[in-house]
Amino acid sequence: MLDDIIIGQYIERDSFIHSLDPRIKILVIIFFIITIFLINAFTGYLFLAFFILVTVLLSKIKVKYIIKSIRPLIFIISFTLIVHLFMTRGGQIIWEWRFLKIEEEGLRMGLFMSLRLIFLVSYTSLLTLTTSPLALTDGLESLLKPFEKIGLPAHELAMMMSIALRFIPTLLEEAQKIMKAQKARGADFESGNLINKAKSLIPLLVPLFVNAFRRADDLALAMEARCYRGGEGRSRMNALLLVNKDYIVLALSFVYLISVGIFL
Amino acid sequence: MSLINIENLHYRYNSKGNWVLKEVDLEVNSGEFVVIVGHNGSGKSTLAKMLNGLLIPTEGDIEINGRSTKDRDNIWNIRQQVGMVFQNPDNQLIANIVEEDVAFGPENLGLESMKIRDRVDWALKEVGMEEFKRHAPHNLSGGQKQRIAIAGVLAMKPKCLVLDEPTAMLDPLGRKSVISTIEKLNKSLGMTVVHITHFMNEAIKADRIIVMDGGRVALEGTPKDIFAKVNQIKKYNLDLPQVAQLALELQKSGLDLPDDIFEVDRLVNLLCSLK
């Protein structure tokens, strides 16, 4: 059950990308996403593809994992392509059969949109593949810190995220245990149509939720007993530290963003 | 002066409820190993939560090192001095890497990162888990998780360790490893330990046993004193340690054995030297 979850899957490697500060990686991703939507020509996309390829090679992550992360979105990507192919009008007619028509502009937009989606997913999944969840939440917390002044609870959000990540495997294990226990009592999780299947999940979900609340209560008590009092006055063992290469990468990606903005 | 001083403590969860704790007077001295036993509903877990200010006395007073838990200004100091380990090993680990979890307490105290690193390494070593420091807690056994929880408390450099039924959800092996860790900390570091349990077996090595019943302190004394009061112990729904029970039965059937046999090795040696 655990192997099915690709979102947030982290693969440990000793690479340049892995060693970068998570804050820098998040910023680079944001820059990259902006350029994806700025660029509007095939030569530009060729450049983006090259950029992704270089990052993948630097990260020492197998291309297989990147493709795996795109797979769940195949439906959305092909749907976008087909809708644009047949719906967007403009330019010469390329292909025609009875009422179906593909025009030049449709083909162009369809390809652009699906390429954008593929770039977006593959690049953001590179972030989670090369950054441990803990580093990611730390990075987000410190990036959101300036917004605390306008009332955004940065520390609390990061704490919630890391606790959620911590309890995913625990709750999955528990779900499996409850499922077995209910099956032993004659519960049927597999047969019937979709509605019946959804209904049969109730005896699984109710105890799972009740237990989750009990866990939350215990955890809050344990955190309080260990002097937890929110983000104020709290220090970190592995504090995030920017080094030279982080600044270089940030500067380079900034140059990249500006040049894309100017030339395209 | 004693480390923990409880005077005429009364507690109830709400103003109309029953008293959960009644007329509790206790003292725990620095370096002592105290075991509190009692069956379900005897008030022992409630008492544990009062020791570091998670619950505040309804009447009476608890002082840790001379500071009352009723004064909210003392609370963080008291929680740093009295570390607490709970029953469920899964529900008290916060981070998804062992060393990050151990660092949680010192991080809350706002220490420098180098100092936290030193403390984490030291604490993991004390509980014998240093080789697991980069592991994820959900892949460890119950006993290992509980030792991580102990390390997490140790890293705050407390004066006293309060353990609320830390072995109740563990298998026999895990139980053994946790108990021997606690005993080691008491001996080698001189750590004051208040261990709450309903297993009499775990009380054998205590300096003092406190038997709770119905929210009161029913008996108090050394293991030797307590285990001698067989009938009273039975009355409080508790059992003698198995070895003590066996020794008692052998004594009754006419073997010449001393009263204070609680350990297997000792009984074996004595029986072998009998013939």
B107 contact residues in A (CB cutoff 8 A) = 234-237
Biggest CA–CA distance in chain B, Å, is: 65
User: What pLDDT is stored for residue B181 in this prediction?
Assistant: 94
Q: Assess whether A79 and A102 both reside in one domain.
A: yes
Q: Assess whether A100 and A221 both reside in one domain.
A: no
Q: Which residue of A has its CA nearest to B94?
A: A163
Residue A250 covered by a domain? yes
Q: Assess whether A9 and A107 both reside in one domain.
A: yes
Residue B47's Cβ-count burial label (10 Å; 0-12, 13-18, 19+) is: buried
B152 contact residues in A (CB cutoff 8 A) = 226
In chain B, which residues have pLDDT < 70? 1, 275
Report the gap between the CA of A199 and the closest CA in chain B (Å). Answer: 29
Q: Assess whether A13 and A103 both reside in one domain.
A: yes
Residue A140 covered by a domain? no
Report the gap between the CA of B263 and the closest CA in chain A (Å). Answer: 34
Q: Assess whether A110 and A16 both reside in one domain.
A: yes
Q: What are the tens digits of pLDDT across the range A127-164?
A: 888 988 888 888 999 999 899 889 889 999 999 988 98
| The pair of three-digit structure tokens given for residue A62, joined into one six-digit string | 């197998």
Complex ipTM value = 0.88
Residue B181's Cβ-count burial label (10 Å; 0-12, 13-18, 19+) is: buried
Q: Scan for tokens 């049927």, then name that residue.
A: A188
Query: Hey, CA dihedral for B174, B180, B184, B190, is it positive or negative?
Result: positive
Report the gap between the CA of A100 and the closest CA in chain B (Å). Answer: 54
Residue A144 covered by a domain? no
Q: Is it the case that residue A3 has pLDDT exceeding 60?
A: no
Q: Is it the case that residue A6 has pLDDT exceeding 60?
A: no
Residues in chain A whose Cβ is within 8 Å of chain B = 133-134, 162-163, 165-166, 169-170, 173, 214-215, 218-219, 221-229, 233-239
Q: Domain limits at A72?
A: 1-131+239-264
Q: Is it the case that residue A106 has pLDDT exceeding 50?
A: yes
- The pLDDT confidence band at residue A1, using thresholds 50, 70 and 90, is very low
Average pLDDT for residues A63-89, to the nearest whole number? Answer: 87
In chain B the domains, ranked by start, together with CATH numbers, are: 4-238 (3.40.50.300), 241-275 (no CATH)
User: What pLDDT is stored for residue A230 in this prediction?
Assistant: 84
B109 contact residues in A (CB cutoff 8 A) = 227, 235
Number of domains in chain A: 2
B45 contact residues in A (CB cutoff 8 A) = none
- The pLDDT confidence band at residue A97, using thresholds 50, 70 and 90, is confident
Q: Assess whether A118 and A225 both reside in one domain.
A: no
Residue A22 covered by a domain? yes
A163 contact residues in B (CB cutoff 8 A) = 94
Q: Is it the case that residue A8 has pLDDT exceeding 60?
A: no
φ, ψ dihedrals at B27, nearest 5°: -135, 140
Average pLDDT for residues A229-243, to the nearest whole number? Answer: 86
Output the CA–CA distances (angstroms, integers) from residue A85 to A36, A78, A93, A97, B201, in the order listed.
21, 10, 11, 13, 76
Q: Are B260 and B270 in contact (CB under 8 A)?
A: no
Residue A138 covered by a domain? no
Q: Assess whether A58 and A176 both reside in one domain.
A: no
Q: Assess whether A252 and A197 both reside in one domain.
A: no
Q: Assess whether A84 and A127 both reside in one domain.
A: yes
DSSP class of A93: E
Q: Between A95 and B28, name the one with better pLDDT.
A: B28
Residue A76 covered by a domain? yes
User: What pLDDT is stored for residue B1 in this prediction?
Assistant: 67
Q: Assess whether A212 and A95 both reside in one domain.
A: no
Residue A150 covered by a domain? no
Q: Assess whether A165 and A122 both reside in one domain.
A: no
Q: Assess whether A100 and A18 both reside in one domain.
A: yes
Residue of B143, B128, B199, B213 lying closest to B173 (CA atoms): B143
Q: What are the tens digits of pLDDT across the range B201-220?
A: 888 889 999 999 989 999 99
Q: Are A91 and A103 in contact (CB under 8 A)?
A: yes
Q: What are the tens digits of pLDDT across the range A197-216?
A: 888 888 899 999 999 999 99
